[in-house]
Amino acid sequence: MHIQFLGTSAGRPTKSRNVTSAAFVHSEPASGFWLFDAGEGTQQQMFGTKLKLNKLEKIFVTHLHGDHIYGLPGLLSSRSYFDGAGPLVMYGPPGLRAFIDGVFMHSGTYLEYELTVTEIGPGVIMDDGHYRVTADELVHRLPSFGYRIEESAQSGQLDLEQLARRGVEPGPAYGKLKRGEDIILPSGELVRSAEVVGPPVPGRIVTILGDTCPCENGIALARNADLLVHEATFESGMEEKATAYGHSTVRQAAQIAADAGAKQLALTHFSSRYDDEAITELIAEGQKLFPNIVAAYDYMELPVPRQSS
């Protein structure tokens, strides 16, 4: 599991940063990815990655500002040209369906796959048994949502030495034990799953917030997250301007991560006024509050490792 950033600039692209988009790349139940926002040029950015549109399964839109959605029409249209592009589900705030329908109607666009647009409110918006996604409203100039992705717990590790001592052969019996089922050996001995399977491995939590001022909902969505992706449009000391535009400073984002007990913070959505050198200085300021910060950049792949049980 990892996040790959496709655009990390706020408002408009720069020479080195495109506008907002990030891919959540998972491995279960099958290799695929989800997209969070799609600013102008997102599909062009994908040419610099291993991501393919026929592997795109879901799109989550945080809000309807252009730097987060203007890449959607072209990307959705191009997906029709990829073999094996199955049904696609898109989630986002009210108004998303009208935007997509209007663009497609006036441009005469026809998709070769099924597209479902689900307009969301606060609460659990999907749960497929592998991942549960919860959305909640943030504080911005337009309705803006954050998303919390929770991975289901994984079965514990088999005690292979004990299984060998007890004469359990690799194969279907291992699978039953991993699923929590007890087995009976040909000798009549009962092998209980709880005796040979370690404790469950906690699922990972990734929180991706849209544009926002600091707010309690952002903290709740990021509670104990393995990774929090948070905007940092302005430098510390520009809190008044950040509030006026519905954004956050680096220091405010760091405080949210600290208050939420997140394990790692990735900052993105940097104002075009900051070059890479300036962003490095901004991160150093934020690390005074929350040490484990990285500054996202276009094409960056950020792994989300499993935590020990």
Show me where the domains of the chain are located. Answer: 2-154+200-303, 160-196
Beta bridge partners of 159: none
Say whether 67 is catalytic: yes
Q: Please tell me the predicted confidence (pLDDT) of residue 92.
A: 98
CA 98 – CA 306 distance, rounded (Å): 39
| Overall average pLDDT of the 28-37 stretch | 84
Q: What is the DSSP letter of 53?
A: G
Does domain 2-154+200-303 fall under CATH 3.40.190.10? My reply is: no
Q: Radius of gyration over alpha carbons of the chain, in Å?
A: 22
pLDDT in tens, 64-101: 999 999 999 999 999 999 999 999 999 999 999 999 99
Q: Are 31 and 38 in contact (CB under 8 A)?
A: no
If pLDDT is split at 50, 70 and 90, which confidence band does 16 have?
Answer: very high
User: Which of 208-212, 269-273, 280-284 is predicted least confidently?
Assistant: 280-284
* Residue set of the binding site for Zn(2+): 63, 65, 67-68, 140, 211, 269
Which two structure tokens, joined as six digits, stand for 278?
A: 């300036």
pTM as predicted: 0.90
Q: Please tell me the predicted confidence (pLDDT) of residue 71.
A: 98
Catalytic residue among 67, 136, 226, 298: 67
Omega into 305 within 30° of 0, i.e. cis? no
Q: How many residues does the chain have?
A: 309
pLDDT in tens, 181-232: 899 988 889 999 888 888 888 899 999 999 999 999 999 999 999 999 999 9
Q: Is the pLDDT of residue 28 over 80?
A: no
Q: Is the pLDDT of residue 30 over 70?
A: no
Within 10 angstroms of residue 31's Cβ, the number of other Cβ atoms is 9
CA 73 – CA 70 distance, rounded (Å): 7
From the list 97, 305, 93, the residue with the least C-alpha distance to 206 is 305
| Overall average pLDDT of the 18-27 stretch | 94
Residue 264 to residues 46, 115, 233, 287, Cα–Cα distance (Å):
25, 34, 18, 11
Q: What percentage of residues in the chain have a pLDDT greater than 90? A: 81
SS3 (DSSP) at 164: helix
SS3 (DSSP) at 11: coil
Q: Is the pLDDT of residue 155 over 90?
A: no
Rounded to 5 degrees, φ, ψ at 239 are -60, -40
From the list 65, 1, 4, the residue with the least C-alpha distance to 296 is 4
